[in-house]
Amino acid sequence: MKLGFACKYFDAQAKQPFPFKITTRTRFLSLDREEQARLLSQLATNNLENQFLTLQQLAKLPDAMRMMRIGSDLLPLYTVPEATAIYSELMPDLQPLLGRCGEFARAHNIRLSFHPGQYSVLASDNEGVVDRAIEDVEYHALCAVLMGYGRQFQDFKINIHMNGKKGIEGFRAAFQRLSPEARNMLTVENDEISCSLDNVLQARDLCPVVLDIHHHWVKENQFIKADDARIPLIIESWRGVRPVLHYSIAQEGLIPEHGFPDQHDLTVAKTKLRAHSDYYFNQDLNDWALSFKDFDIMCEVKMKNLAVERLYHYALDQGEIKAR
């Protein structure tokens, strides 16, 4: 079992030593082309160098903690048409930096992924939204391909939600428009509002299903168990690759520090339960997440790798993870 964190790496003082830098579309478009190229080069180079430094930190950790979701702003504003054209000219300088990240991750058994934003909706009933979603997925796929991935099924994970008014049929139609590399990497997860686990399982013949156990609890008020009849279907969708689940809990103060909260007993609005906690403060919920022994766990928690480290040591003490 691997435990991963998303996007930001914190040092012992909870500061980001290797931050990504971004800019706004408005600022970018206000510049002349030479200034635009200079800005994108500086931002992308910074981000790729800092991503490599982050991977170097992960390589020092136990194998069970070598898992990370890379931020989507690796190449800022890539899908803005004016920026896309400039990036094509910058690639001779940027590609070696991308390749170095991928080579290092593979050499040190670091599992990597992307998670395009909530506006990437392949099943939308708005064709323009679908076009932009496909463009966004392909941007993430390009980054992964330039890192040396996309060559075989699920050597890299690009995870999205399946929300959208066209449902599974819309998702299926958009999926077929993706490049072979993007189809190799795409996964789909259940959400806490519109798309249940049962809905997402309809896509299991297309791509792997990522189980988000907190989303399932928020939507259904149910703590799904590792022996649920749907778990084998999820595992099967990964076609022999170790599956991933997402684990988060509601914020501190909103749910008890012990036991399994029932939403009917809480005095907080359901919408507030969606936000993630700083740390995993409820050991009963930790035991629940760790009971999914066939899965790697992407930890969606605000304190990122610091929270993962605490969970790792708890799992180590409980015998759920072996130190190596």
Residues of the chain with pLDDT under 70: none
Q: Count Cβ neighbours within 10 Å for each residue of 247-280 and write b for 16 or more, e otherwise.
A: bbbbbeebbeeeeebeeeebeeeeeebbebbeeb
Strand segments, DSSP code E, in 76-141 are 111-114
- Per the rule left: phi > 0, alpha: psi between -120 and 50, beta: everything else, 65 is alpha
pTM, rounded to two decimals:
0.95
Task: Please count the other Cβ atoms lying within 10 Å of the Cβ belonging to residue 32.
Answer: 8
pLDDT at 164: 87
Q: Give CA–CA dist 159/173, Å, rounded.
A: 17
pLDDT at 175: 97
Give the tens place of pLDDT for each residue, 120-170: 999 999 999 999 999 999 999 999 999 999 999 999 999 999 888 899 999
pLDDT at 208: 98
- Per the rule left: phi > 0, alpha: psi between -120 and 50, beta: everything else, 170 is alpha
Give the tens place of pLDDT for each residue, 56-84: 999 999 999 999 999 999 999 999 999 99
